């Protein structure tokens, strides 16, 4: 049945057709909006400190975006502003299409925040705390949803325990449960795995992936490059209040990643031979290793040339290793620029 036939069939009932047309209209005309849109955002604290400088950032629906940056770079300030905890100095921020100042209710309803610090009420029970969060965000009680969240986070057995009796890892999960209690479209995780053991960290990554599968947009800040490398679709790097880079993770790796070729020599060299002087080659202290660095993006004729030259010079090697730089090295390179 084509659309015309369908419309003809539906025309028997005018209201239905109107609804049907409205739906088509809606789908065609509504531009795909980013879930978070930050434009020319500045933040100046009362003491004159400029925490954020002209931030522009779009985060698409359903992606995992990692915000990397050294301590004090402005990650938490940026999140605090988007979530409504800190005021904007100038600029515009939209969440789920709503201006966070003018339409703060709709904007905030769509956001869940897991802050960096473990802020909890000691005397409240797990169940009480999560139910409180749901109510606070304007949602009617839904015990079945809270049950699901607590089970997903392995907190179900602890639902009647007071928060002060929980371990640090459990408190961290409780913070996540509170953030998910009102079924947010966007989830902020500010350093979610700080001080969390390796096993729990893996569980958390798994949970984040599941959330993404359900269409939740996730923004995480982290110190752990490993985390960004493992999870993120896109990566933004913030340094001294400025976003210095936003890139697809894979592209970032290939664009900025350096490759290294290490040649273990049979006989040590005292100096780098003159024929290699123009190549990016270094010699290890003991003279047994030649290290050649190159951009992984470039055509790799350089390696062949290097090996040919070594052959011509009768320099023999017993082993070759190549390795790609990790996100961590890229990151350190960026923030030290």
Two tokens, residue 306? 């290097």
Cβ closest to another protein, residue 134 vs residue 239: 134
Cβ closest to another protein, residue 47 vs residue 314: 47
Contacts of 206 (CB under 8 A, 6+ apart): none
For residue 274, the 8-state DSSP code is G
* d(C-alpha 217, C-alpha 270), whole Å: 56
Cβ closest to another protein, residue 20 vs residue 132: 132
Report, in Å, the least distance between residue 199 CB and another protein.
27
Cβ closest to another protein, residue 175 vs residue 208: 175
Report, in Å, the least distance between residue 110 CB and another protein.
9
The CB density around residue 118, as the number of other CB atoms within 10 Å, is: 15
Contacts of 125 (CB under 8 A, 6+ apart): 159, 160, 161, 162, 163
Cβ closest to another protein, residue 108 vs residue 249: 108
Two tokens, residue 294? 């190159």
Report, in Å, the least distance between residue 134 CB and another protein.
8
Cβ closest to another protein, residue 1 vs residue 46: 46
Check: CB of residue 108 under 8 Å from CB of residue 101: no
Cβ closest to another protein, residue 117 vs residue 206: 117
Check: CB of residue 114 under 8 Å from CB of residue 176: yes
Site for another protein, rule CB under 8 A:
45-46, 80, 83-87, 104-109, 111, 113, 115, 117, 119-124, 128, 131-140, 178
Report, in Å, the least distance between residue 54 CB and another protein.
19
Check: CB of residue 268 under 8 Å from CB of residue 287: yes
Dihedral angle sign, alpha carbons of residues 234, 199, 257, 241: positive
Phi-psi region of 84 (alpha: psi -120 to 50; beta: other; left: phi over 0): left
* d(C-alpha 20, C-alpha 184), whole Å: 28
Report, in Å, the least distance between residue 255 CB and another protein.
35
Report, in Å, the least distance between residue 295 CB and another protein.
43
Report, in Å, the least distance between residue 122 CB and another protein.
8
């Amino acid at each position: 049945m084509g659309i015309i036939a369908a419309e003809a069939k539906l025309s028997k009932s005018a209201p239905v057709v109107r609804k049907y047309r409205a739906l088509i209209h809606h789908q065609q005309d509504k531009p795909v909006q980013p879930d978070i849109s930050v434009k020319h955002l500045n933040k100046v604290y009362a003491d004159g400190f400029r925490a954020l400088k002209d931030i522009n950032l779009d985060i698409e629906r359903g992606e995992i975006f990692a915000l990397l940056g050294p301590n004090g770079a402005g990650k938490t300030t940026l999140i605090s502003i988007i979530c409504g905890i800190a005021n904007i100095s100038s600029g515009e921020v939209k969440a789920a299409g709503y201006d966070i100042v003018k339409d703060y209710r709709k904007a905030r309803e769509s956001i869940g925040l897991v802050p960096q610090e473990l802020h909890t009420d000691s005397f409240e029970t797990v169940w009480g705390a999560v139910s409180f969060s749901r109510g606070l965000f304007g949602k009617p009680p839904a015990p079945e949803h809270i049950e699901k969240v607590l089970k997903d986070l392995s907190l179900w057995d602890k639902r009647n325990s007071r928060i002060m009796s929980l371990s640090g890892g459990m408190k961290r999960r409780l913070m996540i449960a509170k953030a998910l209690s009102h079924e947010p479209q966007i989830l902020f995780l500010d350093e979610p795995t700080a001080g969390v053991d390796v096993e729990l960290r893996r569980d958390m990554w798994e949970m984040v992936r599941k959330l993404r599968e359900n269409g939740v947009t996730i923004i995480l800040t982290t110190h752990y490059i490993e985390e960004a490398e493992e999870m993120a679709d896109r990566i933004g790097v913030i340094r001294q209040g400025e976003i210095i880079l936003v890139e697809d993770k894979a592209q970032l790796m290939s664009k900025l990643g350096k490759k290294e070729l290490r040649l273990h020599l049979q006989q040590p060299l005292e100096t780098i031979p003159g024929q290699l002087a123009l190549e990016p080659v270094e010699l290890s202290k003991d003279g047994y290793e030649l290290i050649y660095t190159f951009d992984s993006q470039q055509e790799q004729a350089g390696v062949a040339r290097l090996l040919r030259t070594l052959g011509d010079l009768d320099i023999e090697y017993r082993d070759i290793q190549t390795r790609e730089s990790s996100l961590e090295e890229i990151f350190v390179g960026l923030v030290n620029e």
